[in-house]
Amino acid sequence: MSSNDFRDGQGTGEFRSGFVALVGRPNVGKSTLMNSLVGQTVSIATRRPQTTRTRIRGVVNIENAQIVFVDTPGMHEKEKALNRFMLEEARSAIGDVDLVVMLVEAHGKAKGDAVKDEDSWILEEIAKSAKPCVLAVNKIDRVKKKDELLPLLASYSQGENFKEMVPISALKGDGLKELTRAIEKLLPQGPKFFPEDMVTDQPERLLVAELVREQAIVRVGQELPYSLAVETESFKDLPGKSPFVGISAVLYVERDSQKGILIGKKGKMLKEIGSASRRSIERMLNCRVHLDLRVKVARKWSQTMGGLRRVGYEKK
C-alpha cells in the first residue's frame, strides 16, 4: 500500500473532522480496511466471519482532516446473547457517528440484487439513522474484469441514498485515497479530537487480549469459532535494562473438550498460540514481552449477558 498518498487531503483550507462507522455483514473486510487506513493493526482481522465483537476506534490524520473510524462487528441476526450484543454494538455505532461507510463484497456467488437483498435489513438500519452513507465495494482485487462490478453498483444505486460508491481493495490498498476523499468532503468542520500520535483509544490490555484471540482463531477457529474469549489479567513492567512487560491472559472456552483442543497434545497448541501472539504484542508495544496464557472453562458464557460479562464483555 502506498501509505502516504491518501493522507494528502484536498487542500480546501478548512479543517474537518468526525466519526465514521464501518458497517456491513461479517467478513466483508471492515477490520482489514480500518487497519489499512490507520497503518497498523488496531482491530484484528481473520478469514473467519464474526471476528470483531466490539466497537473499535482508529484515528486517521490527513492534511486537513481527522477521521475517527469505528470498526463494528459484522451485522447478522441470531439469538444468542453474544450475537445480540454484537448487533447492538454495530447499531449503536451507527447512532453515534457523523457518517456511515457500508462495506459489501465485490465478488461472491450472489450477484447484484441477490447480494443487496441479503443486505437489505442493514440498509434499513442505516436509513432509520438518517446518517449520510458511502458504499465501499471491497475485495475488487478478486474481480477479474472491472465491468463485473457494474450490476452490483447498479443495484445498490437504485433507491438508496449513497452519497458516493467507491470500489476498493482494503487488502491491497486500492481506492483508499478516493474513499478518504469522499469521506472528508462529507464531514463537518471540526477540531482534532485526538492527538496526532494516537491511533486508537483502545486500552493496551484490550488490544493485547485481541491479538491473543487472533492467533487462537487462526489456529483453532474452525473447531471453536464463537466459543473463545480472551481477557488480560495482569500487565506490568518487569525489571530489566530495556523495557520489558509481563502479561498474563486467560482464554475462555465453553466446554472441557474445547479446552483440550486449545491446549493441544502436551500443551503444543497453547505454546504455539503463545509464541505467535507474544511476537505480535511485542511489535505493537515495541518492547520485550513475557506472556503467560491460561485456559479456563466458562460454561455457556456466550449464551447469557452474565456470561459475557464474566469473560470481559461490557456494554459501553
Ligand X SMILES: Nc1nc2c(ncn2[C@@H]2O[C@H](COP(=O)(O)OP(=O)(O)OP(=O)(O)O)[C@@H](O)[C@H]2O)c(=O)[nH]1
Question: Which residues in this chain contact Mg ion in the complex, by CB under 5 A?
Answer: 30-31, 51-52
Compute the least distance from the CB of residue 68 to ligand X, in Å.
17
**Binding partner of residue 139 among Mg ion, ligand X, none, CB cut-off 5 to 8 Å per kind:** ligand X
Pair 216, 251: CB distance under 8 Å: yes
Nearer to ligand X, 108 or 112 (CB): 108
**Binding partner of residue 49 among ligand X, Mg ion, none, CB cut-off 5 to 8 Å per kind:** ligand X
**Binding partner of residue 138 among Mg ion, ligand X, none, CB cut-off 5 to 8 Å per kind:** ligand X
Q: What is the 3-state secondary structure (H, E, C) of the chain?
A: CCCCHHHCCCCCCCCEEEEEEEEECCCCCHHHHHHHHHCCCCCCCCCCCCCCCCCEEEEEEECCEEEEEEECCCCCCCCCHHHHHHHHHHHHHHHHCCEEEEEEECCCCCCCHHHHHHHHHHHHHHHHHCCCEEEEEECHHHCCCHHHHHHHHHHHHCCCCEEEEEECECCCCECHHHHHHHHHHHCCECCCCCCCCCCCCCCHHHHHHHHHHHHHHHHHCCCCCCCCEEEEEEEEECCCCCCEEEEEEEEEECCHHHHHHHHCHHHHHHHHHHHHHHHHHHHHHCCEEEEEEEEEECCCHHHCHHHHHHCCCCCC
Compute the least distance from the CB of residue 176 to ligand X, in Å.
10
Compute the least distance from the CB of residue 166 to Mg ion, in Å.
19
CB-closest chain residue to ligand X: 74
Pair 228, 297: CB distance under 8 Å: no
**Binding partner of residue 141 among ligand X, Mg ion, none, CB cut-off 5 to 8 Å per kind:** ligand X
**Binding partner of residue 200 among ligand X, Mg ion, none, CB cut-off 5 to 8 Å per kind:** none
Compute the least distance from the CB of residue 144 to ligand X, in Å.
13
Nearer to ligand X, 33 or 187 (CB): 33
Pair 62, 99: CB distance under 8 Å: no
Nearer to ligand X, 46 or 232 (CB): 46
Nearer to ligand X, 136 or 208 (CB): 136
**Binding partner of residue 169 among Mg ion, ligand X, none, CB cut-off 5 to 8 Å per kind:** ligand X
Compute the least distance from the CB of residue 272 to ligand X, in Å.
20
Nearer to ligand X, 47 or 145 (CB): 47
Nearer to ligand X, 101 or 170 (CB): 170
Nearer to ligand X, 141 or 233 (CB): 141
Residues at the site binding ligand X, with contacts judged by CB under 6 A? 26-32, 45-47, 49-52, 73-74, 138-139, 141-142, 169-171
